[in-house]
Amino acid sequence: MGGLAGRSILVVEDEMLLAMDIEELVRAAGCTVIGPVGTVSDAMRKLREVRPDGAILDVNISGEMVFPIADALHEAGIPFMIVTGYTREHVPERHRERPFLQKPYKAAVLVAMLGEMLGNAQRGPNSSHTKSA
């Protein structure tokens, strides 16, 4: 898939089976996976250690909301998408226009959104997307 090969993606997901599924999808698309990480503190530590090309975030990570990570990614200019069982209304307004995918999702939709997000990041500001599949 164009634009994904060789890109590094931070995966922030605390449910092990979902994290493994996302990791497998991202690797199959040609990306390097950072993580997956299952806590906000681990994700913040990873961001201090490496600069990913993008990130996939669940909203609730081990009982903590993921928005400090989203804020750090935003400040660093790193695109991210939100993949969650929550609705968009649970996302603070400052991040509501981020690519958003509601669980359960189709693998092809997640990979397509990831590619589109990274492509948009190369071209300019994030565009707004919502998918449920």
- Secondary structure string (H, E, C) spanning the chain: CCCCCCCEEEEECCCHHHHHHHHHHHHHCCCEEEEEECCHHHHHHHHHHCCCCEEEECCEECCEECHHHHHHHHHHCCCEEEEECCCHHHCCHHHCCCCEEECCCCHHHHHHHHHHHHHHHHHCCCCCCEEEC
pLDDT in tens, 30-70: 999 999 999 999 999 999 999 999 999 999 999 999 999 99
Average pLDDT estimate for 3-10: 93
Domains of the chain (ranges, CATH numbers): 8-132 (3.40.50.2300)
Predicted confidence (pLDDT) at residue 75 exceeds the cutoff of 90: yes
User: In the chain, pLDDT over 70 holds for what percent of residues?
Assistant: 89
How many other C-beta atoms are found inside a 10 Å radius of the C-beta of residue 86? 15
**What global pTM score does this model have?**
0.90
Predicted confidence (pLDDT) at residue 131 exceeds the cutoff of 90: no
Strand 64-65 with 100-102, pairing: unpaired
What's residue 123's pLDDT? Answer: 57
**Average predicted confidence (pLDDT) for the chain:** 91
Average pLDDT estimate for 11-29: 97
Query: Residue 65 forms beta bridges with which residues?
Result: 60
